[in-house]
């Protein structure tokens, strides 16, 4: 542990080599800045060698014309590097814009050049047994417009028959780990959306339609999760068409703590999960402003896009 900790205090140099077909352009009009969460696998823990799990495709709406990515932090072991490339193969990984440290260490606040076309963020390691925390991309700035999921496309093909009066049971663990107020705020946000017939009733029964609990499992890689079940108690997958009988929500205090969540991050995560309770899908494109974006977030409430979708469905 001391070895890796000491490496973080080494001096860091960032070298940029633009060798790939990624095209750099200047923004024509005022660009939009959108919060995102795109990070190497395990961040803020150390990345693994001999793994491509930290290589990420930047998913954007086809109506985005140009964009750039903001690295909040890059921390690498000696000789490892991060590239942003136009396609995904061993050759193009090395031929992208390269960010690396001459002797290991970290840097912060790095914007990529402006990009048109696809982009892959790659973590390239030299498999020498040394790792660090990797990278965190926290913002995208883009020109053009977003093409979000709207109306029926924003929802799973399965749900409760009605969400007008859902019974909700909160395990004592929710209060133990300090999430009761976040849950209440999120449920009230849904209930108070105008022109949507959504309601919740607190229940002391563990057989309620929604059953919320919390744990402290740092070794399980999720912030929170919602799972729907049919009348026989079998899980319903995202593409299933069965009606929900009940659903569970599990809040993982251990992982949220390990990732340094503040109150806004926790509220955003719980609100996101309540979106799943009314069958909302993830908004996969990073340029879309929605609580249904994946990852750690600072927004705490449903956006106008989310509200319009909820009003359409319910």
Whether residue 286 has pLDDT greater than 90: yes
Cα 125 to chain centroid, rounded? 24
The β-bridge partners of 106 are 75
| Percent of the chain whose pLDDT exceeds 90 | 66
Q: Is the pLDDT of residue 49 over 60?
A: yes
Q: What is the pLDDT of residue 100?
A: 58
For residue 83, what pLDDT band results from cuts at 50, 70 and 90?
confident
pLDDT of residue 254 exceeding 90, the answer is yes
- pTM of this prediction? 0.85
Bond prior to 44 in cis (omega within 30° of 0): yes
pLDDT of residue 127: 82
Residue 291, CA distances (Å) to 219, 286, 295, 311 in order: 25, 12, 10, 15
Give the count of beta carbons closer than 10 Å to the beta carbon of residue 204.
8
Q: CATH classification of 2-144, choosing from 3.90.1150.10, 3.40.710.10, 2.40.40.20, 2.60.120.290? A: 2.60.120.290
Across the chain, the runs of DSSP E, i.e. the strands, are 32-39, 56-57, 64-76, 81-85, 97-100, 105-111, 120-124, 134-144, 166-170, 200-203, 210-215, 224-229, 235-236, 246-252
Domain borders along the chain are 2-144, 151-313
According to the model, what pLDDT value does residue 81 have? 84
- Superfamily of domain 151-313 in CATH is Collagenase (Catalytic Domain) (3.40.390.10)
What are the DSSP calls for 23-59, one per residue?
Answer: BP---SSPPEEEEEEEE-TTTTSPPPSS--TT-EE--
Q: Which residue has the tokens 């990852």?
A: 295
Structure confidence by residue, pLDDT tens digits, 111-169:
998 999 889 998 888 888 888 899 999 999 999 999 999 999 999 999 999 999 999 99
Mean pLDDT of the chain: 86
What gap in Å lies between CA 310 and CA 215, rounded to an integer?
29
What are 208-232's pLDDT values in tens digits? 999 999 999 987 778 999 999 999 9
Q: Which residues contact 100 (CB under 8 A, 6 or more apart)?
A: 14, 15, 76, 79, 80, 81, 82
Range with the poorest average pLDDT among 45-49, 72-76, 165-169, 243-247: 45-49
Q: What is the pLDDT of residues 1-30, one digit of tens each?
A: 222 223 222 222 232 333 333 434 444 456
């Amino acid at each position: 542990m001391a070895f890796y900790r000491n490496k973080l205090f080494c001096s860091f140099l960032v070298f940029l080599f633009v060798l790939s077909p990624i095209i750099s352009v200047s923004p024509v009009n005022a660009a939009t800045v959108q919060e995102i969460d795109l990070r190497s696998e395990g961040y803020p823990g150390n990345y693994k060698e001999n793994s491509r799990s930290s290589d990420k495709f930047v998913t954007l709406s086809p109506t985005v014309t140009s964009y750039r990515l903001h690295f909040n932090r890059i921390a690498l072991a000696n000789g490892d590097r991060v590239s942003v490339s136009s396609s995904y193969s061993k050759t193009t990984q090395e031929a992208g814009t390269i960010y690396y440290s001459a002797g290991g260490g970290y840097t912060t606040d790095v914007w990529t050049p402006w990009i048109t076309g696809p982009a892959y963020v790659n973590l390239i390691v030299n498999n020498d047994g040394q790792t660090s925390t990797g990278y965190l991309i926290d913002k995208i700035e883009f020109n053009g417009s977003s093409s979000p999921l709207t109306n029926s496309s924003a929802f799973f093909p399965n749900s409760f028959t009605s969400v007008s009066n859902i019974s909700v049971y909160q395990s004592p663990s929710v209060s133990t780990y300090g999430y009761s107020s976040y849950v209440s705020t999120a449920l009230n946000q849904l209930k108070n959306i105008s022109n949507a017939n959504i309601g919740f009733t607190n229940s002391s029964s563990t057989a309620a339609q929604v059953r919320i609990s919390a744990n402290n499992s740092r070794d399980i890689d999720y912030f929170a999760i919602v799972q729907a079940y049919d009348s026989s108690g079998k899980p319903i997958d995202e593409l299933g068409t069965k009606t929900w009988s009940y659903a569970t929500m599990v809040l993982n205090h251990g992982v949220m703590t390990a990732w340094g969540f503040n109150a806004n991050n926790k509220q955003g995560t719980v609100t996101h999960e309540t979106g799943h309770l009314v069958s909302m899908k993830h908004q996969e494109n990073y340029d879309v402003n929605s609580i249904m974006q994946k990852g750690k977030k600072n927004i705490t409430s449903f956006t106008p896009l989310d509200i319009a979708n909820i009003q359409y469905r319910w």
